[in-house]
Chains A and B, each alone.
Chain A
Amino acid sequence: AQSVSQHNHHVILSEAASLELGCNYSYGGTVNLFWYVQYPGQHLQLLLKYFSGDPLVKGIKGFEAEFIKSKFSFNLRKPSVQWSDTAEYFCAVEFSGGYNKLIFGAGTRLAVHP
């Protein structure tokens, strides 16, 4: 079955610390990959996406993600987090033939302390 796994459910960091959130997916076919962010009380917003080309993708607010096909992974990174990055982060995968249907991971709640 198609599935998406996020390794960390809760992450607590201090400001300026580096961030890496793991995401792995099942299935070996063509995929489109996304990271969404949900700030407290708000709806999901797209952080970045990967369809093809350079496997290192840069998104908004200094976030980036690297697609490693051999590992079925799409980890999210930020070199220095800010308090305003406190949010829930969702990895999502569109598997081929899905009419843009996304399979979401369970989400990772990030808390950044000043």
Chain B
Amino acid sequence: DAGVIQSPRHEVTEMGQEVTLRCKPISGHNSLFWYRQTMMRGLELLIYFNNNVPIDDSGMPEDRFSAKMPNASFSTLKIQPSEPRDSAVYFCASSLFGQSYEQYFGPGTRLTVT
């Protein structure tokens, strides 16, 4: 298996622009998680899905952030408009809820907003 795939790996954008991060979970996994990692705040859970349905989005910082999971093999995290304080590494992780419990992390997207 290729593992969790994220794209792009690096994104540099200007303040005010829309940013879309993409994630392909491990095939067969039914839970998907979006995290943000910064030096100041550490690893934060933004939102997670189970069977493509958002279960908890309480970690989404504000309305500028939105996430979708249109099918079992694809999810997006969108920031619109982006701000410099959104600069971070965004990780996607997936797991097979009900059979295994560990999360498998993707390589992350390093976002820089100037």
Which residues of A pack against B, CB within 8 Å? 32, 34, 36, 42-46, 49, 51, 90, 94, 99-104, 106-107
* Residues on B with beta carbons closer than 8 Å to the beta carbon of A45: 105
B101 is contacted by which of A43, A49, A104 (Cβ under 8 Å)?
A: A49
B contacts with A: majority SS: strand
Q: Tell me which of B18-26, B41-49, B77-85 binds A.
A: B41-49
* Residues on A with beta carbons closer than 8 Å to the beta carbon of B103: 100, 102
* Residues on B with beta carbons closer than 8 Å to the beta carbon of A94: 101
- 13 CB < 8 A contacts A-B: A34-B102, A49-B101, A90-B43, A99-B50, A99-B97, A100-B31, A100-B33, A100-B97, A102-B45, A103-B45, A104-B43, A104-B45, A107-B43
CA distance A90 to B103 in the complex (A): 13
In this complex, the interface size class of chain B, counting residues with CB under 8 Å from chain A, is 20 to 34
Minimal beta-carbon separation of B93 from chain A (angstroms): 8
CA distance A103 to B108 in the complex (A): 19
* Residues on B with beta carbons closer than 8 Å to the beta carbon of A101: 33, 45, 48, 55-56
CA distance A32 to B107 in the complex (A): 24
* Residues on A with beta carbons closer than 8 Å to the beta carbon of B45: 101-104
CA distance A82 to B101 in the complex (A): 29
Q: A34-B102, A49-B102 are in contact. Are A100 and B95 (CB under 8 A)?
A: yes
